[in-house]
Amino acid sequence: KSMPKKTKKKKTKNPKKIINWILFKYFPILTWLPQYKINNYLKDDMISGITVGVMLIAQGMAYAKLAGLPPEYGLYSSGIPLFIYPLFGSSRHLGFGPVAIVSLLVSQITLSTNSAGHEYSTSEKITFSLLMAFCVGLVQISMGIIQIGFIVNFISHPVIAGFTTAAAFVIILSQIQHLLGFSVQKSHYPLLTLINYLLNLNKFKWQPFLFGSANILCLQMIKIINKVYKLEVPGPILCVILSILVTQTFRLNRFGITIQNKIPKGFPKIRGPIFNEFTKVAPVVLTISFINFLETIAIASKIGEIHGYKIVPDQELIGSGMTNLCGSFLSAFPTAGSFSRTAVLSQVGGKTQIAGLITGIVIILTYLFFTPLFKFLPNVTLASIILVSVVNLIDYKEASMLFKIRFLDFLAFTISFVSTFFIGVEWGIAIAIGVSLLIVLWFSINPPVSILGRMPGTVVYKDLKWYKDCIYTPGGILLRMDAPLFFVNSSVLVKKLKEKENEYKNSNPVNLFYVLIDCRGMADVDSTGLEVINEIKEKFNKRKIFFGLANVNERVRKLLNKIDSECGSNDTRFFLRIHDGVETAIKWKSLQLKNIILN
C-alpha cells in the first residue's frame, strides 16, 4: 500500500509580530525612547534644546522673510513640526526647521509675479507655501515607502557644493536690499538682479547699511568669542535683542530702517492646503523635495557617525515627509534638517530628540506670549542673520582643492555653480543633477583599463603606466579592467584588446601567444559582457593563442560556467593569480613547441 502523502502545514504569520515590525520600522522613536535614561540625559537635552530654541527664534523669522512670508510663519514652521520629526526620523540629533536654501526655493514662487505682472498678495504667498509643504511631504513619504533613498548616491559632492555655493550668492542678492536701503526689480535670473542693483546704486541709504554692518560685526564677534573661549552664546537672538532695544530707544524707523510693526500672537490656525493653486507651485515641489532630502541626509549621516549610530535614508524621507505634511496644516512652510542647529545641539551635549521637543516648546511659548516684543525688530537685522549664516555655504576651499586635484570634478562644480547663478535655482539644480548623472555615465562607459607588468623579483603584477620599473612580459598581454563588465562598456574591453594587439605586433619580436585578463575589479558581468568574453575566448582559441581569466570572483565565475554549458564548451581557463596564468601559458607554449618538433 502506498503511504499517504504528508501535507505541509502552511506557516501562518503572527499578526502581532507583523504589527511590531511595522511599528519599529516606521517609528524609530520606539527603539530609543524605552532606553531613555532621565537622570543621565534629561539635563543635557534640556540645555541643548533651550539653546537651539533661542537660536531658532531669530533664524526662523529671518528664513520666513527670505521665503517671502511674514516673520511669524518662521515661528510656526519651527514649533509644532519639531514634535512630529522625533516620531518618524532616524536621527537622534537632527535640528529640524526652516533652512536657507529651502526658504530660497519657496521664494521662487512667493516672490514671483502673477499673469498680470503684479506681486502676489500676502494671503496668496501663505497659500502657496503651505501647499508646497503638503506636496513636498507627500512626495517624500512616497519616496520613502518605495525605498528610493539610494538616489542620493548619484549626486556627487562637487556638484552639490557648486549648487549650494551659487545658492548662497542668490540668497545674498535676495537680502542685500535691506542692507542697501533700496529694492530693485527682481529677475528670474540672479545675474540680472545683480546688474539692476549696480545700476541703481544712486538710491543707496547709509543708515540701514551702517546698522546692518553693525549687526554683521556683532554676529561675527560672537562667533569668534564662542570659538576662542569654547562658549555657546546664541549670537542671533542676542543681536535681535540689542537691535530691538536700540531701534525702540532711538526710533530708528524714522531714518529709513524698516521694522516688523506687529507680529500676531497666538496659536496658528489649522487649515488645509488649497489644491487649486497646485499648478503654480508644481515647478519647485520636486526640487524642494530633493534638496530637502540631500541637506537632511548629509547632516544626519555626519552627526550619526560622530555619535555611533546609523541613519536610514528611506526612513529620513518618511520623517521629513511627515514633518512637512503635518506642518502644512499648522501654517508651516517647507522645512529641513539644519547644519548649524544640528551642530550646536550636538556640541552643547544633546543626547536625543527630546532636545528637539524642548526646542519646540520654546518656540511655541514665544509665539503664544512674546511676539509683541518683536514689534521694533528691524528687517536689516534679520537680513544680517541670513547673510552671516549663508556665508558658510560658500565652499571656495572645495573649489580650490578640486582645481588642484581633479579637474573633472572641478568642471562639475563650475557647471553647477554657473547654471544656478546665471540661469536660476530651479534650472540650476536640474542641470546639477544632470551633470552628476553624466559623470556616472562617463565613468561607466569609459572604465579604467590597465596593461600589467611584473614587478622585478616578485610575482606581483601592476599597472605599467604607474609603475615604471615593472617588466613587460614577452609573448603576452596582461590586461585589467577595474569596473563591472556590462552592455555600456563591453566594447571598451574589445577595443583596448585590439589596440594592444596592434601595438604588440609593431613593437615585439616575440609572437603573441597568450592573453590574460585580471578580473579583480570586475565585480559583475551582464549577458552582453558574458557574450563578449566568450567571443574574445573563441577568437584567440582559433588563432592558437592561450586565453585565461585571473582573480575571478565566484559570482562571475558561475555566470561564465553557465554560458560555457549553454555553448557546449568547457574551455574557459580560470586562475587564482595572474602569475599562475603566466606560468601555465608558458608551459602550454613549451608543450606546443615540443609537439611541433616531435611531429
Is 10 within a domain?
no
- The per-residue pLDDT for 566 is 77
Residue 356 in contact with residue 133, Cβ under 8 Å? Answer: no
Distance (Å, whole) CA 85 – CA 93: 11
Same domain, 185 and 305: yes
End residue of a domain, out of 422, 440, 458: 440
Q: Which long-range contacts (CB under 8 A, 24 or more apart) does 50-53 make?
A: 50/358, 50/359, 50/362, 51/232, 51/234, 51/344, 51/345, 51/348, 52/95, 52/341, 52/344, 52/345, 52/348, 52/350, 52/355, 52/359, 53/358, 53/359, 53/360, 53/361, 53/362, 53/363
Q: Return per-residue pLDDT of the chain as tens, 599 residues.
A: 455 555 555 555 678 888 888 888 889 888 889 989 999 999 999 988 998 998 899 899 999 999 999 999 999 999 988 999 999 999 999 999 999 999 999 999 998 887 777 889 999 999 999 999 999 999 999 999 998 888 777 778 888 889 888 988 988 998 999 999 998 887 778 889 999 999 999 999 999 999 999 999 999 999 899 889 888 788 888 999 999 999 999 999 888 899 987 889 999 988 888 999 999 999 899 989 988 998 888 888 888 888 888 888 899 999 999 999 999 999 999 999 988 888 888 887 889 999 999 999 999 999 999 999 999 999 999 999 989 888 888 888 889 999 999 988 999 999 999 998 998 887 887 888 888 888 888 888 989 999 999 999 899 999 998 998 898 888 899 999 999 999 999 999 999 999 988 888 877 767 889 999 999 999 999 999 999 999 999 999 999 999 999 999 999 999 998 888 877 677 789 999 999 999 999 999 888 888 777 76
Distance (Å, whole) CA 127 – CA 124: 5
The letter for the amino acid at 5 is K
Q: Is 3 helix (H, G, I), strand (E, B) or coil?
A: coil
Distance (Å, whole) CA 560 – CA 557: 5
- Return all residues near 438 (Cβ < 8 A) that are at least 6 apart: none
* Percent composition of the chain: helix, strand, coil (DSSP 3-state, to 5): 65, 5, 25
Distance (Å, whole) CA 251 – CA 257: 9
End residue of a domain, out of 420, 440, 460: 440
Same domain, 477 and 432: no
- The per-residue pLDDT for 196 is 93
Residue 86 in contact with residue 356, Cβ under 8 Å? Answer: yes
Same domain, 493 and 592: yes
- CA 379, distance to chain mean position in Å, is 32
Is 6 within a domain?
no
Distance (Å, whole) CA 303 – CA 91: 8
Same domain, 166 and 301: yes
pTM (2 d.p.): 0.79
Residue 215 in contact with residue 381, Cβ under 8 Å? Answer: yes
Is 203 within a domain?
yes
Is 539 within a domain?
yes
Q: How many Cα atoms within 13 Å fall on the side-chain side of residue 569? A: 12
Same domain, 434 and 561: no
Distance (Å, whole) CA 476 – CA 512: 6
Q: Strand 514-518 vs strand 476-481: parallel, antiparallel, or unpaired? A: parallel
Same domain, 139 and 46: yes
End residue of a domain, out of 440, 468, 500: 440
Residues 527-547 pLDDT 10s: 999 999 999 999 999 999 999
Phi, psi (deg, nearest 5) at residue 524: -155, 160
Same domain, 237 and 346: yes
- Rg (alpha carbons) of the chain, rounded to whole number: 32
CATH number of residue 570's parent domain: 3.30.750.24
Distance (Å, whole) CA 128 – CA 132: 6
Length of the chain: 599
Residue 533 in contact with residue 544, Cβ under 8 Å? Answer: no
Is 8 within a domain?
no
- Return all residues near 406 (Cβ < 8 A) that are at least 6 apart: none
DSSP single-letter state for residue 479: E
Same domain, 194 and 322: yes
Q: How far is CA 129 from CA 74, 166, 216, 304, 325, in A?
A: 11, 23, 29, 31, 12
Same domain, 371 and 475: no
Same domain, 205 and 262: yes
The grid coordinates of residue 185 equal 526689480
Only one residue has cell 540680472, namely 192
The letter for the amino acid at 571 is D
The grid coordinates of residue 428 equal 540650476
Distance (Å, whole) CA 31 – CA 69: 38
Domain count for the chain, please give it.
2
The grid coordinates of residue 89 equal 526620523
Same domain, 458 and 319: no
Farthest-apart Cα atoms in the chain, separation: 113
Give the domain extent around 571.
Answer: 449-598
Same domain, 435 and 453: no
Is 80 within a domain?
yes
Q: Is the torsion defined by CA of 78, 84, 87, 89 positive or negative?
A: negative
